[in-house]
Amino acid sequence: MSARHDFFTLIHKGQRKELFAATVVAGTTDWDDPSSANDFVSLWSRLASMLEAHAAHEHNHVFPLLAEHAPEIVEHVEAAHADLEHRLATLTDTIARTAGHPTEEHGLAVYREVTAFVALYLLHILDEETLVMPAIWRSCTGAEINAARLNLQADQSPAGVTRSRRAILPAITDAERTSMAQAFQRGSTSEAFAAFMSDARQALEPSAWERLEESRAAFPSCPDHAPSMSEHGS
């Protein structure tokens, strides 16, 4: 039996890792130091771009799967997207303005706003995993889900795939990582797979990298469908 494709779990694991890390950096940044403040602006800008691209891919390729079957769910998650996109844009502007005139007091305010955004975002992606994905599995055929997967994959930029891959790889289990590597090896050129493994080596702790390398020598036969990085990135 083919594994059911999951649009959310792996990329959301990567997003959670990035959001938690950014929250820690926001809380430890020396906001009296313009250089440190600007470093955080750069970090947040990269993260915001990843979140924006991910939301666009969901809007264009994932949510339409439920437009006829569960319009109330689509309305719910699209409203959440609109709210989060507004909050993200406002927060990004606030961070940039604060870095222009950094003070400890304003930095603490930024930190608190970051934590508030992260809290709301975490609840939203939980809804996607526990409401949207099960509804897609109940309502859509494998062919419909696969078509959406392929369209989403084709819509990804190479830079976005790499960015998401580096977020995801350290945030998932050994089994998920091995499955991702299998699928990538199966569905890409040897050069692309070498780039995948190079990113993995840079992103992973040495012990995790060693386990991934060891698993390559005993890859089982590929399943009908295993989640690949290119299918989950933004």
188: pLDDT confidence band, cut at 50, 70 and 90? confident
Sign of CA dihedral 201, 205, 206, 212: negative
Tally of domains within the chain: 2
**What tokens appear for 53 in the block?**
């691209």
Q: What pTM, to 2 d.p., does this model score?
A: 0.90
Q: Which of these three, 130, 155, 180, is where a domain ends?
A: 155
Same domain, 58 and 34: yes
Distances (CA, A) of 142 to 4, 15, 107, 211, 231: 8, 26, 48, 32, 15
On whether both 45 and 96 belong to a single domain, the answer is yes
Contact predicate 25/65, CB 8 Å: no
Does 168 lie in the same domain as 119?
no
Spell 3-18 as b/e; 16+ CB within 10 A means b.
Answer: eebbbbbbbbbbbbbb
Same domain, 68 and 176: no
Highest mean pLDDT among 122-131, 152-161, 181-190: 122-131
| Cβ contact 42:199 at 8 Å | no
Q: For the residues 57-72, what does the mean pLDDT come to? A: 98
Picking from 61, 53, 55, the residue whose alpha carbon sits closest to that of residue 152 is 61
CATH number for the domain harbouring residue 89: 1.20.120.520
Tell me: do 148 and 169 sit in the same domain.
Answer: no
Stated as kind and residue range, the H or E segment containing 1 is none
pLDDT tens digit sequence for 70-111: 999 999 999 999 999 999 999 999 999 999 999 999 999 999
Residues 142 and 226 in one domain: no
Domain extent, residue 115, equals: 1-155
Q: In terms of domains, do 146 and 172 share one? A: no
Say if residue 111 is in the same domain as residue 71.
Answer: yes
